[in-house]
Amino acid sequence: MRKWVFIAFAAIVLSACSNTGESNGNNETNKEANEQTEETASVTFRKMDVTTEESTIQVTGEAQTVGDSIYYTFEQGDTVLVEENEINLQKNEQGWASFSIELELNERIKNTEEVPIIILYGKNDSGEKVDQNHVPVDLSKDD
C-alpha cells in the first residue's frame, strides 16, 4: 500500500513539473514574439537640429529603425499644418540614416501664440505610430 501511495505521489509531482515546464516554454516563446514585434516597431533619433530662417524651418538629424522609413507631421495646436509624410532612409553600416525636412512658414503660423510641433515617428506592422518624438519649433525672434 505504501508503495502505491509513493508512486501516485511521484506521478503527481512529475506531472506538475511537466506542466510548469511547458508553461515556461510558452511564456518564453510569447516573450520572444513580443520582443521581435517591438524590435520591428522601434525608431530612435539623434543629432537633431532645428533651425528657422525667415519663412522656412530646416530639421536635420539621424534615425535608426528596423524599417526603411520614418514619418512626420507638422502641427500647431489642434491644426495639422502638414499631413503625414514618409521619409525613405539610406542607412550606413551602423544602421543610422541622415534625414532632412524643410517646411514652409507663413504669417498665420508665425502670428499664432501656440508653438508649432514637428512629430517624428515610426510605424509597426499594423501601421500604428510608434516612438513618437514631439519637436517644438522656436519661432521667437532674438532682438
End-to-end CA distance of the chain: 98
Q: Are residues 27 and 49 in the same domain?
A: no
- Domain with 5, as residue range(s), is 1-40
Within a domain: residue 35? yes
Instruction: Report the C-alpha gap between 14 and 6 in whole angstroms.
Output: 12
Whether residues 29 and 59 fall in one domain: no
Q: How far apart are CA 36 and CA 80, in angstroms?
A: 33
Do 72 and 111 belong together in one domain?
A: yes
Q: Which residue has better confidence, 122 or 12?
A: 122
Q: How many domains does the chain have?
A: 2
Predicted local distance difference test score (pLDDT) of residue 6: 53
Threshold 0.85, pTM exceeds: no
